[in-house]
């Protein structure tokens, strides 16, 4: 008797991001939700499905086969917070959190940058009291979460990413690391927090959500929509949108008022000469090609560059033109003016490239945050900037999203291709609430070049309403 | 290894063909390879960025050379180079020091006036003096830790120009495999090595016996039965050099194209790709190597045979690490398990059950067992290395049972 009992035992285990179900016959499978999710895996002789289905599967198996069901999936550990230091939530933050709770702790909260998404997430963590993984787009943001968790719970969270692999009940990571490591850590967390969740639905990155068994999921973003439309998949990867605060509501209330000032600069004589020379190289090449192939495009040129040095020269000329725009000497002079004009105020400078950021830093002897800036220096620079010891901070693009830079009232964009989302996020940087002071965003662009076009594109975003034009 | 950004693949009529430099079409690349190696050999002390520019310049007038190929060469050369890094954060400290000193003087201006009197050039000269040097030196050291500015310290290099070109060809093949959903290998020789290395690359397999010594193995990962995923592409790529070192195989991989269709990548041991790994006879896991040395060729009437038989039953194969043959004809198989998870051990035990008509032992590291786990009769538990004593005892137990039951 005992023997048949053990044979009939149904076991569920976690296998590298999937669930393995053993001891269940095919006819019994329909009693488990998501029948189509299960596949027979001949390699191991068991049923297999993605770990994301774990909560309903576990519930159904418990229901149907209570006595013979053995759940071998590792369970996330409960977390106890002896000391919680969170600011009281504002009304809209409270609504957001309540809506998420009501949706069964699965869902997305959409709030503009600077309206306290992180606080909502920290409040959710303090309520959930379960092992939690926070996924952020870049290292800077990952470290920022680390700091915020330290401040809120006095807890030194684990880090997966930036060449570290240190898993703790509360861990912070990046989307790329989550994709790589979720098959190993997918059963360890009960709550997943996806910061800037619009990064998740990418073809590969989504696996971070699929390979996890976590029952509670929270997605946060200011800008949900993706141009490829994949954001609709967040509904099943995370949960439905449970709260959405319109951008207009945020502006002027929780966010500071702001001006956008565009400053056109001209290339100097030698830059202009080099620029025109490059333009000529490209034009001549394309014209000569179009004699035979009237529909010859830039894509064709790129394709051809492998076989034809001429095409390669044209391609190189194009990139050189971009770098001339990015690094125009006149931009440095304009910066000089802006620094004088806003003396005593905190100023953020966004450069288009590492090279330009370093150039600015070397001329004005102001600190940079670049993608490879290490943790210690990053912390020191951000802290000294927050305290006003440094008045200027230069970044390439790493501060694009969500990184807290307290009390910067002036931002200068001197390069970089901005899309609508980037523009919004960048605006968010300077729109931090601090008294009644107005924020100003300067865009320094080369005249008569592609950059003007880009600036116009930036301003199509609903975030820019009035743009002042000013010559310095 | 290269990254996807270096990958050059041609998709033609359902076939994926990774970029490959050949004797017939690219003979002149031998000269380029030689020149590239000499750029790095004589480039000690130069910045990474400058080395890359020199490599780029070599190809300036080469009609047949995509930009990605140049970048790939730079990556492969960097892979065997050691650059001056700054682990203690010297540059970062210098930056904080300089910027903090200057912060109260902000802004530094080109043309000082009554309001803004801190002339950039004067302040910098003054600062350099204070630090006992000239400004140009400080400026050089300020961002010396940025990857592009790192200086070449040592170039280990490749054994010669053809080694660099071979490495390039294999690296492009590997990069193409990043796109792969699954990989099928038809094997006639070296089955054991192939399976072992697939295991080390954390791949799962499905196996089919085609004839007495010919097998078809489909490699993929856990989630592959659920959906088409490129998740295990890196695992395939890591596994490839081991496969290339083997004999008697044909591989086809299904890869995703950029247009979301599928293409086939086909390679065999006849294609002349050179692995940087030694051939299977020379490599084996250290654990086993140590054990074989300790045991010697023969001991107490037992002969040690490496590369034993392949046991095959339904979907399962079993290639034991060692076969022990006693003078009286008794054969016992031994499998040494290194560092595996409990799921893997459970799976292994199941395999053993399936092959229980054979006399078989499995050696398991103590730390991979759960506390208080019951140890089956045919399992040997070891701490750091398998001991000869307990093994001999187990061999004898199996042998005597065998002879008495006869």
Please report, for chain B, the start and end positions of each structural domain, with discontinuous segments joined by +.
1-85+145-176, 90-144, 178-277, 286-405
Minimal C-alpha gap between B160 and chain A (Å) = 25
Check residue B20 and give its pLDDT.
Answer: 95
Does A443 share its domain with A419?
A: yes
Residue A438 belongs to a domain: yes
Tokens of B316: 């399962």
Low-confidence ranges of chain B (pLDDT < 50): 282-284, 339, 405-406
Residue A77 belongs to a domain: no
Backbone φ and ψ for A352, nearest 5 degrees, come out as -80, -20
pLDDT tens column, A353-369:
888 899 999 999 999 98
Strand partners of residue B15: B12, B264
Tokens of B177: 């495999």
Does A154 share its domain with A195?
A: yes
Strand partners of residue B323: B305, B333
Distance CA B106, CA B116 (A): 9
Q: With beta carbons under 8 A apart, name residues in chain B contacting A13.
A: 343
Distance CA A450, CA A448 (A): 7
Q: Pick A336's closest partner by Cβ from B109, B147, B223.
A: B109
Does A104 share its domain with A123?
A: yes
Q: Pick B143's closest partner by Cβ from A43, A306, A358.
A: A358
Interface A-B, measured as beta-carbon pairs within 8 A, has a size of 129
Tokens of B212: 């007495």
Q: What is the pTM of this model?
A: 0.76
pLDDT tens column, B182-205:
999 999 888 878 887 887 788 888
Q: May I ask the CATH class of domain B178-277?
A: alpha beta
Architecture of domain B286-405: 3-Layer(aba) Sandwich (3.40)
Residue A82 belongs to a domain: no
Strands A10-15 and A18-22: antiparallel
Minimal C-alpha gap between B297 and chain A (Å) = 36
Check residue A399 and give its pLDDT.
Answer: 55
Range of the domain at A339: 258-266+328-469
Distance CA A318, CA B148 (A): 22
Beta carbons of A354 and B204 less than 8 Å apart? no
**A contact residues 354-373, partner B, Cβ 8 Å cutoff:** 354, 358, 361-367, 370, 372-373
Beta carbons of A381 and B96 less than 8 Å apart? yes
Strands A158-161 and A170-174: parallel
Check residue A466 and give its pLDDT.
Answer: 43
Are the CB atoms for A221 and A424 separated by under 8 Å? no
Distance CA B238, CA A336 (A): 52
Which stretches does DSSP call E strand in B27-179?
81-83, 152-155
- CATH value at residue A119: 3.40.50.300
Tokens of A349: 């400078």
Tokens of A134: 């926070």
Check residue A250 and give its pLDDT.
Answer: 55
How many residues in chain A?
Answer: 472
Q: Pick B230's closest partner by Cβ from A16, A204, A381.
A: A204
Beta carbons of B103 and A363 less than 8 Å apart? no
Check residue A222 and give its pLDDT.
Answer: 85
Does A376 share its domain with A440?
A: yes
Beta carbons of B205 and A43 less than 8 Å apart? yes
pLDDT tens column, A243-280:
998 665 555 444 445 677 888 888 888 888 888 888 88
Low-confidence ranges of chain A (pLDDT < 70): 1-8, 30-35, 246-258, 397-407, 416-437, 448-472
Residue A146 DSSP class = H
Does A335 share its domain with A460?
A: yes
Are the CB atoms for A401 and A221 separated by under 8 Å? no
Residue A81 belongs to a domain: no
Q: Closest by alpha carbon to A195, among A172, A219, A171? A: A219
Beta carbons of B89 and A377 less than 8 Å apart? yes
Tokens of B189: 């020789």
Beta carbons of A390 and B99 less than 8 Å apart? yes
- CATH value at residue A17: 3.40.1170.30
Structural domain total, chain A: 4
Please measure the distance between the N-terminal and C-terminal CA atoms of chain B and give it in whole angstroms.
56
Distance CA B98, CA B96 (A): 6
Q: Which of A42, A71, A100 is the last residue of a domain?
A: A71
Distances (CA, A) of A249 to A92, A115, A245: 11, 10, 7
Distance CA A466, CA B222 (A): 54
């Amino acid at each position: 008797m005992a023997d048949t009992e053990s044979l009939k035992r149904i076991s569920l285990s976690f296998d590298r991001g999937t669930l393995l179900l053993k001891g269940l016959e095919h006819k019994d499978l329909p009693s488990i939700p998501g029948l189509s999710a299960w596949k027979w895996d001949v390699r191991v002789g068991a049923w297999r499905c993605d770990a994301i289905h774990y909560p309903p599967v576990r519930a159904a198996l418990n229901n149907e086969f209570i006595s013979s069901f053995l759940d071998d999936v590792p369970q996330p550990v409960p977390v106890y917070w002896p000391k919680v230091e969170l600011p009281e939530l504002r009304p809209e933050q409270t609504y957001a959190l309540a809506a998420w709770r009501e949706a069964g702790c699965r869902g997305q909260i959409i709030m503009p940058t600077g309206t306290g998404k992180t606080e909502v997430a920290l409040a959710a963590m303090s309520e959930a009291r379960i092992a939690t993984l926070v996924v952020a787009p870049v290292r800077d943001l990952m470290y920022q979460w680390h700091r915020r968790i330290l401040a809120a719970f006095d807890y030194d969270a684990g880090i997966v990413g930036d060449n570290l692999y240190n898993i703790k009940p509360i861990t912070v990571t990046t989307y790329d690391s989550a994709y790589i490591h979720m098959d190993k850590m997918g059963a360890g967390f009960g709550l997943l927090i996806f910061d800037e969740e619009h990064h998740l639905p990418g073809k590969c990155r989504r696996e971070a959500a699929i390979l996890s068994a976590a029952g509670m999921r929270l997605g946060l973003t200011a800008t949900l929509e993706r141009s490829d439309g994949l954001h609709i998949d967040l509904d099943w990867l995370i949960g439905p949108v449970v709260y959405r605060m319109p951008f207009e509501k945020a502006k002027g209330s929780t966010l500071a008022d702001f001006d956008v000032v565009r400053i056109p600069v001209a290339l100097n004589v030698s830059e202009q000469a080099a620029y025109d020379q490059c333009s000529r190289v490209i034009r001549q090449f394309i014209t000569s090609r179009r004699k035979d192939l009237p529909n010859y495009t830039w894509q064709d040129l790129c394709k051809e560059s492998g076989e034809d040095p001429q095409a390669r020269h044209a391609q190189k000329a194009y990139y050189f033109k971009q770098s001339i725009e990015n690094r125009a000497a006149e931009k440095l002079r304009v910066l000089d003016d802006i620094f004088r004009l806003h003396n005593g105020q905190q100023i953020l400078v966004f450069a288009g490239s590492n090279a330009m950021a370093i150039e600015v830093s070397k001329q004005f002897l102001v600190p940079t945050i670049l993608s490879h800036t290490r943790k210690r220096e990053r912390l020191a620079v951000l802290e000294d900037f927050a305290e006003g010891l440094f008045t200027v901070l230069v970044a390439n693009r790493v501060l694009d999203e969500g990184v807290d830079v307290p009390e910067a009232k002036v931002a200068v964009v001197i390069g970089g291709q901005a899309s609508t989302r980037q523009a919004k996020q960048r605006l968010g940087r300077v729109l931090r609430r601090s008294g009644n002071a107005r924020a100003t965003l300067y865009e320094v662009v080369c005249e008569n070049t592609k950059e003007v076009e880009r600036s116009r594109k930036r301003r199509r975003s609903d975030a820019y309403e009035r743009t002042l034009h000013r010559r310095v | 290894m290269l990254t996807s950004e270096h990958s050059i693949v041609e998709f033609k009529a359902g076939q994926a063909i990774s970029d490959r430099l050949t004797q017939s079409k690219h003979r002149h690349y031998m000269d380029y390879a030689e020149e590239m190696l000499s750029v790095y050999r004589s480039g000690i002390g130069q910045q990474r960025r400058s080395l890359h520019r020199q490599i780029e310049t070599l190809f300036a007038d080469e009609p047949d050379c995509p930009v990605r190929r140049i970048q790939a060469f730079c990556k492969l050369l960097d892979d065997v180079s050691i650059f001056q890094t700054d682990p203690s954060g010297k540059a970062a400290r210098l930056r904080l020091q300089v910027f903090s000193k200057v912060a109260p003087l902000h802004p530094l201006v080109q043309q000082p006036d009554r309001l803004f009197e801190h002339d950039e050039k004067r302040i910098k000269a003054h600062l350099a003096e204070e630090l006992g040097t000239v400004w140009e030196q400080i400026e050089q050291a300020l961002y010396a830790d940025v990857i592009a500015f790192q200086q070449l310290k040592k170039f280990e290099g490749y054994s010669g120009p053809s080694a660099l070109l071979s490495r390039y060809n294999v690296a492009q093949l590997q990069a193409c495999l990043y796109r792969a959903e699954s990989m099928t290998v038809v094997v006639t020789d070296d089955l054991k090595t192939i399976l072992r290395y697939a295991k080390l690359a954390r791949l799962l397999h499905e196996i089919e016996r085609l004839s007495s010594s010919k097998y078809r193995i489909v490699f993929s990962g856990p989630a592959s039965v659920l959906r088409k995923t490129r998740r295990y592409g890196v695992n395939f790529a890591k596994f490839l050099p081991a496969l290339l070192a083997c004999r008697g195989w044909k591989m086809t991989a299904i890869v995703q194209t950029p247009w979301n269709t599928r293409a086939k990548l086909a390679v065999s041991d006849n294609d002349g790709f050179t692995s940087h790994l030694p051939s299977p006879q020379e490599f084996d896991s250290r654990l086993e190597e140590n054990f074989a040395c300790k045991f010697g060729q023969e001991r107490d009437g037992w002969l040690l045979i490496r590369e034993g038989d392949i046991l095959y039953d339904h979907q399962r194969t079993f290639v034991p690490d060692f076969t022990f043959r006693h003078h009286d004809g008794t054969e016992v198989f031994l499998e040494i398990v290194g560092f595996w998870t409990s799921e893997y051990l459970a799976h292994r035990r199941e395999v053993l059950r399936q092959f229980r008509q054979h006399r078989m032992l499995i050696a398991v590291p103590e730390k991979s067992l759960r506390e208080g786990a019951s140890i089956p009769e045919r399992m040997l538990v070891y701490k750091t290395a398998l001991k000869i004593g307990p093994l001999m005892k187990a061999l004898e137990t199996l042998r005597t049972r065998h002879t008495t039951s006869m």
